[in-house]
Structure 1
Amino acid sequence: MTAVYEWVRNITYYMIFITVVGNLLADSKYEKYLRFFAGIILILLVLKPLTGSLRLDERIAYLFESISFQKEADDFKEKLWGMEDERLQRVMSTYEEAVAMDIRGMADTAGFSVRSVKVTIETDRDSPLYGHVTDLYMKLGRQKEENAAGGGWNAAGVSGGGTDSGPAEIQIEP
């Protein structure tokens, strides 16, 4: 008779424990897993007098831990991919800035006054042009010596009062 009382007491304590845990669980994304495994363990508790020697509760506990671990690993993997995408975006941004500085330096070396440079690099990993410069926008002025004298060319190539016959030529190779 004491075995029956102990059996009922274990079931009652378990139900109280699961109710408390369910109420304390702040994140509801684990609630369905908790209810699933709580139900399985409750079934094992109810059937324990018949299956006491099979150690099913230990096997179920092991399965619960392994599934919980897998879920946490998947969440961690998603966070890692998010951080990788953010890092890649920063690398591409730095790459665009470096290319813009190189182009500015080449134009300065050729004797042009660079007003602005904007470089766009393909960031789609599936594209065959991934990592290549896809767009380049530059605003150039006339040669530096002539800018100091008051002349210059605007972005549309219209003279600003200099005596030169036309804009100098820059060759851009892909």
Structure 2
Amino acid sequence: MDYLLDIIKKIACFYVFASFILNLVNDERYKKYINMFTGLIMIILVMKPVINMFSSDNQFETLLKTNESDYMSREMADKISVAGSYGKELILNEFNETLKNSLSHKFLDYGITLEKTEAQIEFDRTDSDYGRITSLDIAAKGFDVSNSYSVAVTELKKYISNVYKIDRNNIHINITC
């Protein structure tokens, strides 16, 4: 509801501003150009929310990945409780492989090949984060030698933090060329 109210406020403010400008200009030759320009801006203001509704697929994908991550964490906690120390290592290796496969497409979007993931998982049953990823080390290889990948690392950390609920400071991405 607030989103709709915000859109209406923007349109109303722009309409008042456009009316003020039209009243300042007395010459009819300029009014038609001002009307055309303000009309184009009004179309953009009205179309922007509609376009944003159709581009919300990324939000849906992130929400889906978050739920998948929660499921994987619960499944991991169940497996950890059953497995011994050797089983924990096998489960952790399997989880790292699954995590690598899950993240590889996102890394490829930035021109980076994911080589290895190493997740640290909380094994203490008394901890509230039991079965969850506490830190993540990622080794990757970039295609472009001249690229510093700092923007990509920031965006990837943001994505991983949102999906897997890991503190960004605990996500370490090392990209070599």
> What's the TM-score bracket when you normalise by the shorter of the two chains?
0.3 to 0.5
Provide the TM-score with structure 2 as the length reference.
Answer: 0.33
Task: For CA contacts below 8 A with separation 6 or more, give which structure has more relative contact order.
Answer: 2
Structure having the higher helix fraction is 2
**Which TM-score applies when normalising by structure 1?**
0.34
Larger of the two Rg values belongs to structure: 1
